[in-house]
Amino acid sequence: MEPIFENQRREPSPSLESRWEAIPENIRVIRQFPKPHDHLFHLAKTIPYWWQLANSAPALAFLVARCWCFDGLPKEGSVERIRAYVLLKRTEICGAFGFLATQRTVHLLSRVLVSPAASTLIFDLKVMRKLLRWEPSTYDILEQFDEITTRQLSLLATGPDLGDESTWKGKIWIHLPWCEWFFRLPAAKRFLLTHLYHEAERKSSDVVIRAFLGDPIPFIRFRNERKAFACLHDYLKHARKIRMARYEVSEGELGWPEPPIESTEQIIPILSCEELEAEGDAMKHCVAFYKTWILRGDYYVYRMQGQYRCTVGIEFQNGSWKIDQVRGIGNERVSDPATLRLIEKWIASAPATKRTNSSQSDCFKEVARICGLPLRGVRIQQEW
């Protein structure tokens, strides 16, 4: 039978020795791909050549597994469609996902590294697709590397600000693939814009600045670089005013507020920033985000021990403290009736308390008076 495409090379059939087996080493290879993994195990067992591709060129195997759904999760019937796609040339597979369908592109994609932080592979490939489209020199640069990693792609896309481990942690990397205007900019403008964003992000780590300005707005919210530059310029200008007012009020660190409700044997208050971060690490959620609101006196966090380990957040609303969130490990919603009843009984039986006018909240008010900027209103609801 003649090949479907001109110059198409037939892929070798897997030998008996190369068939996929469910051993720990092979399972780890598949689990380095972004979730879900169920359909990947099925591919490795039933579809010729996919397992060899997963070992030799993981990024290409990922494209095949996503099966025309590169910008989303696999859809129903993807396995059947993959049976047809693995018969195509690799260049056709690349073209199906918006890459230039040439052997040069295939060569680059075959060397994209699937890192331990596998969830970044989606963003890495999307950024690479944009760079290859709008920055022709990307080909020449990436061909010099034995492996293509997030670090190298970030250096090309955003400059040295993202050239370290913070690349795949930063919000900017997650939003970039949807910012077409960003990749149309000259490299110098992209680097400057990224530098300003990370400077604003560093400023936002200050709890007082965050109370007034929140996080810097991600690029995805803007239609062009002019609006992004203007917003970041205003953010940094206001951050400097807040910091100067903060030092005028007090140069010392803000102390941690007293718990608004007394603890019990099972419900224990978080009494410092270090304890708050440790709770987030232990429970694998982002409760540390609430540091600013705790210092303002609007929020407080407790950890619950006993039969069901969880984190309890309470918020001051309409003149009293109310339960806001109860989360288990990995931000899992707690549905255990006994645990929920115990927490509700605890907060209902607590004596009437007011929002404490502590030295921390007084500091925020004084900073607002000096710098002339209003404190942000009620926090935006966000899960841990």
Domain residue ranges in the chain: 16-177, 267-356
Closest CA to 6 of 108, 98, 91: 91
Residue 3 DSSP SS3: coil
What is the pTM (predicted TM-score) of this model?
0.75
Q: Which residues contact 216 (CB under 8 A, 6 or more apart)?
A: 197, 200, 201, 204, 231, 232, 235
Please give the pLDDT value at position 384.
60
- Total residue length of the chain: 384
Residue 229 DSSP SS3: helix
For the residues 268-277, what does the mean pLDDT come to?
91
Q: Is the peptide bond before 177 cis (omega within 30 degrees of 0)?
A: no
For the residues 266-289, what does the mean pLDDT come to?
90
Q: Hey, what are 148's tokens? A: 């293509």
Please give the pLDDT value at position 9.
38
- The C-alpha atoms of residue 98 and residue 255 are separated, in whole angstroms, by 53
- The C-alpha atoms of residue 191 and residue 7 are separated, in whole angstroms, by 41
The amino acid present at 11, given as its one-letter code, is E
Residue 366: is it exposed, middle or buried by C-beta count within 10 angstroms (0-12/13-18/19+)? middle
pLDDT band at residue 177, thresholds of 50, 70 and 90?
confident
Q: Which residues contact 184 (CB under 8 A, 6 or more apart)?
A: 134
For residue range 302-314, what is the model confidence (pLDDT) as tens digits?
A: 999 887 899 999 9
pLDDT at 204 over 60: yes
Residue 268 DSSP SS3: strand
- The C-alpha atoms of residue 23 and residue 114 are separated, in whole angstroms, by 20
pLDDT at 18 over 90: no
Q: Which residue has the tokens 């597979």?
A: 93
**Cα 345 from chain centroid?**
36
Q: How many CA atoms lie within 13 A of 169 on its CB side?
A: 7
Terminal-residue alpha carbon distance, the chain: 57
Please give the pLDDT value at position 7.
34
Lowest mean pLDDT among 52-61, 183-192, 202-211: 52-61
The amino acid present at 88, given as its one-letter code, is L
Q: Hey, what are 311's tokens? A: 């984190």
Q: Which residue has the tokens 């936002």?
A: 204
Handedness of CA 33, 36, 41, 42 (dihedral sign): negative
pLDDT band at residue 11, thresholds of 50, 70 and 90?
very low
Please give the pLDDT value at position 85.
76
